[in-house]
Amino acid sequence: MPLEKRKSVLWALVTLFLIIGPAIVLYAYGWRWDFTRFRPVRVGGILLRGLPPEARIKIDNRLVENQDERFLGGTLIANLAPGKYFVRVEKDGYRPWEKKMIVEPETVAESRPLVLVPENSAEQRLLDIKILDFWVNGGRLAYQDKNKNYFLADTADPANRINLGILFNNLRERILKLPRALISSLETADNPNRWLIGSGKSWYVLDVKKLTLEPISKKPPKENIPLPQFALPEPEKIETISNYKDPDHLIIQYPGRVMLLEVDDREPLNLQLLAEGVKKHAYDGERLYLLRGAEITYFEL
């Protein structure tokens, strides 16, 4: 190759390096060209925590390839220019999750742990009898049948039950030397073996494992689960609130409806319907129990 031609090739390579080299360095340091602003910007990302398997991710209605890049307990969508994004997560058989998220330069916007609610919950009947009320504490189920008798069983084996009224009066006579009395009310206590028994104006702590009965001066106050510090629809109609198994969600009972709330004030508010026609619910961290009419059912949540 002639000398002049070799010099031309060399200068061409040097020029190409001077153009591409800084671009590579800038790319490595998180700079991208923003075609909407026509200038380079530092990028950020979105971290979707708890993304379910086989879920589809859409950002601003564009399907994003789920590369399953696990990062600090979530799925990272990187190289996003600063701005607002509408994120939607879909999975067959489940209601979609949606959220508006703001990406800042060199910052990762995180979601709460994602919980997708099934479109049709596979409810199962827990008891084959009609009941008036029920309570769940850990793996224990207490209920009042249509004759106003109270029973206690394991949620895994509800047919194997004990009569709380008989046990209460046996311990009342043997330990406290008091005459027999009716149970008028029942509440959960601090562990699955301990139950608060109301009889008339008196309250007792019944331990079904130790077989003890202890009178108490008054019924302990119920745990007060505070409402989130952002606007909820019809807060005056909320009947009860239960903790979910993570601190980022709450189970809320409205008249006839049970909802799952994501504790996140970013729009849109994720308040998903879990069940309708429900008088009462209870949650043990794995199952959601529902009282409809005189029947109790459950499904995994």
Q: What is the pLDDT of residues 30-70, one digit of tens each?
A: 444 454 554 455 788 899 998 888 899 999 999 987 655 55
Q: Does 59 reside within a domain?
A: yes
Closest CA to 99 of 112, 117, 82: 112
9-23, 58-72, 229-243, 260-274: which is most confident: 260-274
- What pLDDT, on a 0 to 100 scale, did the predictor assign at position 114? 93
Q: Is residue 176 helix, strand or coil?
A: coil
- What does DSSP assign to residue 220? P
Task: Please return the burial class of 90, using the count of CB atoms within 10 Å of its CB with bins 0-12, 13-18 and 19+.
Answer: middle
The answer on pLDDT for 106 being more than 90 is no
Q: Does 26 reside within a domain?
A: no
Q: Does 206 reside within a domain?
A: yes
Enter the tokens of residue 265.
């004030």
**What is the rounded average pLDDT for all residues in the chain?**
85
Tell me the CATH number at 295: 2.40.10
Q: Does 151 reside within a domain?
A: yes
Confidence of residue 29 (pLDDT cuts 50, 70, 90): very low
Give the predicted TM-score (pTM) of the model.
Answer: 0.82
Tell me the CATH number at 96: 2.60.40
Whether cis (ω within 30° of 0) applies to the bond prior to 215 is no
Last residue of a domain, one of 110, 140, 158: 110
Last residue of a domain, one of 181, 216, 251: 216
In a shared domain, residues 261 and 193: no
Closest CA to 150 of 136, 139, 161: 161
142, 195 in Cβ contact below 8 A?
Answer: yes
Using CA atoms, how far apart are residues 95 and 117, in angstroms rounded to an integer?
6
Contacts of 10 (CB under 8 A, 6+ apart): none
The answer on pLDDT for 99 being more than 60 is yes
Q: Does 173 reside within a domain?
A: yes
The answer on pLDDT for 24 being more than 60 is no
Q: Does 49 reside within a domain?
A: yes
Task: Please return the burial class of 4, using the count of CB atoms within 10 Å of its CB with bins 0-12, 13-18 and 19+.
Answer: exposed
The answer on pLDDT for 297 being more than 80 is yes
Q: What is the pLDDT of residues 171-188, one digit of tens each?
A: 999 999 999 999 999 999
Q: How many domains does the chain have?
A: 3
Q: Does 21 reside within a domain?
A: no
Q: What is the domain extent for residue 258? A: 235-300
Q: What angle do CA 26, 32, 35 make, to 5 degrees?
A: 145
